Amino acid sequence: MKTVPRETIQQSWDELCDFNHPQTDALVKEFLDEQPALGVYLMSLNDQLGDEAEESHVIDLVLALWQATSRFKGEKLELVQPDRIEEAEAANMHMLEELEPASEFDQMSTTANLVKNYNQMEMLGFCLEVIMQDFQDEPQLAPERVGMEMLWLKTIMDCLDQ
For the stretch 87-117, pLDDT in tens is 999 998 888 787 676 666 665 666 666 667 7
What pLDDT, on the 0 to 100 scale, is given for residue 73? 93
Work out the number of other CB atoms within 10 angstroms of the CB of residue 106.
11
Low-confidence ranges of the chain (pLDDT < 50): none
| Helices 58-73 and 145-160, axial angle in degrees (round to 10) | 20
Please measure the distance between the N-terminal and C-terminal CA atoms of the chain and give it in whole angstroms.
6
Under 8 Å between Cβ of 28 and 63: yes
**CB burial of residue 33 (10 Å; 0-12, 13-18, 19+):** exposed
Under 8 Å between Cβ of 72 and 7: no
Q: How far apart are CA 130 and CA 146, in angstroms?
A: 11
What pLDDT, on the 0 to 100 scale, is given for residue 33? 97
Q: Own/partner pairs for 90-98, CB < 8 Å, 24+ apart?
A: 91/158, 92/151, 92/154, 92/155, 92/158, 93/151, 96/151
Q: How far apart are CA 113 and CA 94, in angstroms?
A: 16
Helix intervals (H) in the chain = 6-18, 21-34, 36-49, 58-73, 82-99, 104-117, 121-131, 145-160
What pLDDT, on the 0 to 100 scale, is given for residue 30? 96
What are the b/e assignments for 66-92, b being 16+ CB within 10 Å?
A: bbbbbebeeeebeebeeebbeebbeeb
Q: pLDDT digit string (tens) for 109-123? A: 666 666 677 889 899
